[in-house]
């Protein structure tokens, strides 16, 4: 059988196809990762704090740090800080994000809605005082937090347009059981519902910005306070660690959810 002579165009196409088939699959470049946010992102409550982080209480057990330790990113910077609000992230954390940043995580909003004051009211006050405080936080989450998130998320995108941004939310605080020392179930149920309002604002803000939303509530389900699992602190000393994830909560609650979407 006589072989047909290939035209220059056909020959070029054939060579390109052979080169493509023979090429090794490209591997993703290691991430340039920046972690933003509040105490749930810094790891307040998880121990093993970096002394250089001071009052920001950045822990080596926090989900950003444990993810970085396991995945060897090209670079890792956590500027998450206990007590931070959306305004604080804009003013003092956002500068860590640059055009070359490829992965950003952020957990924020709890301090905007007054988490600390709500918990203090619910621990020390009556059911009606607790419900009123939670309701005020829910109203803030529904009406005032969304524009703050839009501003913040737009700023993150503006500094790193190509970055994969993951918005990580907050767990419920309580497993509702018939008996558990501490707050009654009226308060516990209200606090869980308040978390849902906050998380709904984060989910919508992430979707509107084109970011990834990572919901930890199902991962924490059955492991909250009153479950006996030790994933969250109740009232503890130092007081600032109260109602925050333990090292176990960071590693078994937050880390798997973030890892599943971080890429």
**pLDDT, tens only, 138-158:** 999 999 999 999 999 999 999
In whole angstroms, what is the distance from residue 190 CA to residue 132 CA?
A: 10
| Active-site pick, 39, 42, 59, 242 | 39
Q: How confident is the model at residue 29 (pLDDT cuts 50, 70, 90)?
A: confident
| Active-site pick, 172, 197, 223, 244 | 244
Token pair belonging to 132: 């009123």
Shortest CA distance to 80 belongs to which of 89, 90, 68, 72?
89
Q: 79 near 35, Cβ under 8 Å?
A: yes
Token pair belonging to 126: 């009556």
> Is 135 one of the annotated active-site residues of the chain?
no
* Mean pLDDT within 251-255: 98
Please check the confidence at residue 262 and state whether its pLDDT lies above 60.
yes
pTM over 0.75: yes
170 vs 8, 35, 249, CA distance in Å? 61, 16, 11
Which domains, ranges and CATH numbers included, belong to the chain? Answer: 29-262 (3.40.50.1110)
In whole angstroms, what is the distance from residue 137 CA to residue 117 CA?
A: 10
Token pair belonging to 48: 């093993």
Q: How confident is the model over 83-120, as pLDDT tens digits?
A: 999 999 999 999 999 999 999 999 999 999 999 999 99
* Mean pLDDT within 53-79: 98
Shortest CA distance to 156 belongs to which of 116, 107, 200, 98?
98
In whole angstroms, what is the distance from residue 100 CA to residue 111 CA?
A: 29
Q: 77 near 34, Cβ under 8 Å?
A: yes
In whole angstroms, what is the distance from residue 20 CA to residue 54 CA?
A: 52
The predicted structure's pLDDT at residue 15: 44
The predicted structure's pLDDT at residue 28: 66
Q: Is 200 exposed, middle or buried (0-12, 13-18, 19+ CB in 10 A)?
A: middle
> Is 223 one of the annotated active-site residues of the chain?
no
Q: How confident is the model at residue 19 (pLDDT cuts 50, 70, 90)?
A: very low
* φ, ψ for residue 104, nearest 5 deg: -130, 135
In sequence order, the 6+-apart residues with CB closer than 8 A to the CB of 103 are 31, 32, 33, 34, 73, 163, 164, 166, 262, 263
Please check the confidence at residue 5 and state whether its pLDDT lies above 90.
no
Q: List strands edge to edge, sheet with 164-168.
A: 75-78, 32-37, 103-107, 164-168, 212-214
Please check the confidence at residue 18 and state whether its pLDDT lies above 90.
no
* Mean pLDDT within 203-222: 98
Please check the confidence at residue 24 and state whether its pLDDT lies above 60.
no
The predicted structure's pLDDT at residue 27: 53
**At what angle are helices 127-143 and 185-209 packed, to 10 degrees?**
10
Name residue, tokens 């941004």: 165
Shortest CA distance to 198 belongs to which of 157, 237, 149?
149
Side-chain-facing half-sphere of 163: CA atoms under 13 Å: 28
What is the residue-averaged pLDDT of the chain?
Answer: 92
């Amino acid at each position: 059988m006589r072989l047909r002579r290939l035209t220059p165009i056909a020959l070029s196409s054939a060579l390109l196809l052979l080169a493509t088939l023979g090429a090794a699959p490209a591997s993703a470049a290691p991430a340039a990762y920046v972690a933003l946010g509040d105490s749930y992102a810094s790891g307040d409550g998880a121990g093993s704090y970096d002394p250089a982080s001071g009052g920001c209480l950045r822990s080596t057990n926090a989900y950003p740090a444990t993810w970085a330790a396991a995945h060897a990113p090209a670079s890792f910077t956590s500027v998450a800080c206990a007590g931070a609000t959306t305004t604080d992230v804009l003013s003092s954390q956002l500068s860590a994000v640059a055009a070359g940043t490829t992965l950003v995580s952020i957990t924020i909003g709890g301090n905007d809605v007054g988490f600390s004051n709500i918990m203090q009211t619910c621990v020390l006050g009556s059911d009606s005082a607790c419900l009123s405080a939670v309701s005020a936080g829910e109203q803030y989450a529904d009406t005032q937090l969304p524009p703050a998130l839009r501003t913040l998320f737009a700023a993150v995108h503006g500094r790193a347009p190509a970055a994969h941004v993951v918005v990580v939310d907050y767990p419920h605080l309580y497993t509702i059981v018939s008996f558990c020392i501490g707050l009654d179930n009226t308060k516990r149920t209200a606090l869980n519902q308040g978390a849902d309002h906050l998380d709904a604002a984060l989910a919508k803000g992430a979707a509107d910005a084109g970011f990834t939303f990572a919901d930890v509530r199902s991962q924490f389900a059955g492991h909250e306070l009153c479950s006996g699992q030790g994933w969250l602190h109740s009232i503890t000393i130092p007081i600032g660690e109260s109602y925050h994830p333990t090292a176990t909560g960071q590693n078994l609650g937050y880390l798997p959810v973030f890892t599943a979407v971080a890429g």
